[in-house]
Amino acid sequence: MKKALVCGAGGFIGGHMVKRLKAEGYWVRGVDIKEHEFSTLPADDFVVGDLTDPRVVASVVDEGMDEIYQFAADMGGAGYIFTGEHDAAVMHNSALCNLNTVEEAARKKVGKIFYSSSACIYPETIQVDTDNPGLEEGFAYPAQPDSEYGWEKLFSERLYLAYQRNYGIAVRVARFHNIFGPEGTWCGGKEKAPAAMCRKVAETEDGGSIEMWGDGEQTRSFLYIDECIEGVRKLMESDFSDPVNIGSDEMISINDLAIMTADIAGKKISLNHIPGPLGVRGRNSENTLIKAKLNWAPSETLRSGMEKTYNWIADQVSRAVES
Ligand code: NAD
């Protein structure tokens, strides 16, 4: 039986990965600074601990473990990442999680380690148009991410690749592009655009209006969680060890995402554009490399993922109202 450690298992993607690995027959240990908010995880072992503490990391990484999935990070949507208020915490916390985990993994001769990087590593200078043709992996340098979150991700990509070169540990790195779905943060300030949109629409009466940061013309692509997990598993099973995009190439404006969400809810909703933190003007995944290396790329439509996500968030909203 293969043994895996999932770091950040109390979070959105980590929680889904625990379920997937258990379904595949793995023995799984999860670790996170908190329990999972929305789900009772089927992990064989779950440790509540802070990965910035090397003693905690030493206690959860076993000698010769087969795989580690490192998802732990200080993380949020534009309202968290782009205000500047959390920059030091984001860099300090996430970098220490990565420094400690990769060091312990190399020391204990872990078979393979996955690192979750982000589309936020790409230079802001190539994301100034809403009509973005897609961010190829090779566009990462010369580097100029638009946030400290992105700089930390880029540093940590290099950290894992350096450990691969110097200590021979097998590393897999994916650059996620806006992952969304059920059991992700949907309120409280760390939620990202699809979840925020679902919550606002669910909380608003038919005929009402919702607030949106900026003019709503900014574009993004969003990837449903099941396809993200599938991509990570395929990458782990492959022998490809350079960073690769895991994202959808179905780009949409935030205005159209709102219209889609309202349509799913069966409501007529108008948009009230207000100033707020925004990020880059246009961002899309470019999937030539993943198709070439994994013979696979995400294909589910945004609409289908948004329907499942809206239903889950609308249910959370009505439970919150009842309690
Ligand atoms: P999440 O916030 O739901 O999960 C991250 C988890 O890490 C949280 O449960 C948090 O408690 C945990 N964590 C933070 N600091 C910790 C510490 N010091 N010790 C132990 N646990 C700690 O975020 P997510 O959406 O599941 O993202 C998972 C990973 O994927 C992150 O590294 C994130 O940067 C990356 N990523 C996510 C997206 C996305 O759209 N969700 C996009 C690009 C990259």
Work out which ligand 1 atom sits closest to the CA atom of 50: 19
User: Which backbone phi and psi does 175 adopt, to 5 degrees?
Assistant: -100, 100
Same domain? For 214 and 226 the reply is no
Q: DSSP string of 98-154?
A: HHHHHHHHHHTT-SEEEEEEEGGGS-GGG--SSS---B-GGGG-S---SSHHHHHHH
CATH of the domain at 84: 3.40.50.720
* Domain range enclosing 267: 193-220+251-282+301-322
**Residue 295 resides in a domain:** no
Predicted local distance difference test score (pLDDT) of residue 22: 98
Residues 100 and 204 in one domain: no
3-state DSSP call for residue 42? Answer: coil
Per-residue pLDDT of the chain (323 residues; tens, 9 = 90+): 999 999 999 999 999 999 999 999 999 999 999 999 999 999 999 999 999 999 999 999 999 999 999 999 998 877 888 888 999 999 999 999 999 999 999 999 999 999 999 999 999 999 999 998 899 999 999 999 999 999 999 999 999 999 999 999 999 999 999 999 999 999 998 899 999 999 999 999 999 999 999 999 999 999 999 999 999 999 999 999 999 999 999 999 999 999 999 999 999 999 999 998 888 999 999 999 999 999 999 999 999 999 999 999 999 999 998 88
Confidence (pLDDT) at 75: 87
Asked whether residue 209 falls in the same domain as residue 271, the answer is: yes
Instruction: Provide the domain count of the chain.
Output: 2
294 falls within a domain? no
Helix (H, G, I), strand (E, B) or coil at 262: helix
Is 61 within the bounds of a domain?
Answer: yes
Regarding whether 169 and 209 lie in a shared domain, the answer is: no
Q: What is the pLDDT of residue 185?
A: 95
Q: Do 165 and 88 belong to one domain?
A: yes
Spacing, Cα 83 to ligand 1 middle (Å) = 18
Kindly state whether residues 35 and 158 are assigned to the same domain.
Answer: yes
Domain of 278, CATH number, reads 3.90.25.10
Q: β-strands 219-221, 251-253: how paired? A: antiparallel
pLDDT at 267: 97
Q: What is the predicted pLDDT for the residue at 63?
A: 97
- Co-location of 54 and 121 in the same domain: yes
Beta carbons within 10 angstroms of residue 139's beta carbon: 16
Q: Are residues 94 and 204 in the same domain?
A: no
Residues at CB less than 6 angstroms from ligand 1: 8, 10-14, 32-34, 50-52, 71-75, 93, 97, 116, 118, 176, 178-179, 185, 192
| Global pTM exceeds 0.75 | yes
The answer to whether residue 287 sits within a structural domain is no
Which of the listed residues 13, 159, 235, 285 should we mutate to test ligand 1's pocket, taking the one with most ligand atoms within 8 A of CB? 13
In a domain, 292, yes or no: no
Same domain for 158 and 75: yes
Q: How far apart are CA 222 and CA 208, in angstroms?
A: 26
Q: Is residue 296 part of a domain?
A: no
